[in-house]
Amino acid sequence: MAHPIKTILQPEVKDLGGFQVRRSLPSEAQMMVGPFIFFDHPGPAQFTPGQGVDVRPHPHINLATVTYLFEGALLHRDSLGYVQEIHPGAVNWMTAGQGIVHSERTPDAERAAGHTLHGIQTWVALPDEAEEIEPSFHHHPAADIPTWEIDGVKVTLIAGEAYGHVSPVKSLSPILYLNVQFPQGGKFVLNAEYSERAVYPLTAGITVAGTALDPYRMAILHPDQSVEITAGTGGHCMVAGGEPLGERQKWWNFVSSRPERIEQAKRDWKAGKFEAVPGETEFIPLPEVG
């Protein structure tokens, strides 16, 4: 039987104005894992008092954005009128559908005090029949997200169904999204119920089927094999996966199964046809290259 790891991705490192983001998906080697088409790892970034994140209003179509933090806080505002702070362990799930605009900024309290920001931001493609649904936003407090222990390993089910647990986060296609934290010598068996899976180590010490992974190197797994993940000195990883949705196009903040839909979104954003975010006057202009 072949080794369970199909390939290991080198992240692209981007500077977003004073802090680094490691982007594993999409990559030349792997466009998607299940419905996941975008996987960003911001931080950990230390902000001194007065500093913070200011992601100006920008649009999305035909996808859902998922924000999950380990440290810090972000303030979400969108064109539906939602204003929501997110803190560690909670989940913000925003379904763009036919189109939405949002901003992400550091809340006033954290900006004044100085803080550390660390988390994972992903985009999930929508199935063909749901790409143009009405946009929506849902916040799920940390207390509502299923968390359990297996032999000392703490597992949090951010989205999907796994190991007899069901996340309250409503996805529109089969998805697996786990936060896995290991004690020293911890072991966790990732089963094969989803056909596409990836393991993303946040720390050193994570081993997949006997292969040690460097931090921030996403391991794409072969289907139909259960895999043992271990951490001899303790560690932390994310698991992302699910069932594939078919080919998708990505340009800037737009994702769709139809290239012509992305072209329409470009024209609409440039012409100011998207709904604005209440209380916001800034916006990110359409770039020359996506």
Asked if pLDDT for residue 230 goes beyond 90, the answer is yes
pLDDT per position as a tens digit, 96-149: 999 999 999 999 999 999 999 999 999 999 999 999 999 999 999 999 999 999
Closest CA to 59 of 40, 78, 82: 78
pLDDT, mean of residues 174-190: 98
pLDDT, mean of residues 74-103: 98
pLDDT, mean of residues 36-58: 96
Distance, CA of 77 to CA of 266 (rounded, Å):
21
Asked if pLDDT for residue 68 goes beyond 80, the answer is yes
The two three-digit tokens of residue 148, written as one number: 């359990």
The pTM is what? 0.97
pLDDT, mean of residues 30-40: 98
The two three-digit tokens of residue 213, written as one number: 């992974």
Instruction: Label residue 17 by pLDDT band (50, 70, 90).
Output: low
SS3 content of the chain, % helix, strand, coil (to 5): 10, 50, 45
Res 290: pLDDT: 84
Instruction: Label residue 19 by pLDDT band (50, 70, 90).
Output: confident
* Residue-by-residue DSSP string for 55-112: EEEEEEBSEEEEEEEEES-EEEEETT--EEEE-TT-EEEEE-TT-EEEEEE--HHHHH
Distance, CA of 29 to CA of 7 (rounded, Å):
8
Res 1: pLDDT: 67
Closest CA to 177 of 253, 124, 140: 124
The rounded percent of the chain whose pLDDT value lies above 70 is 99
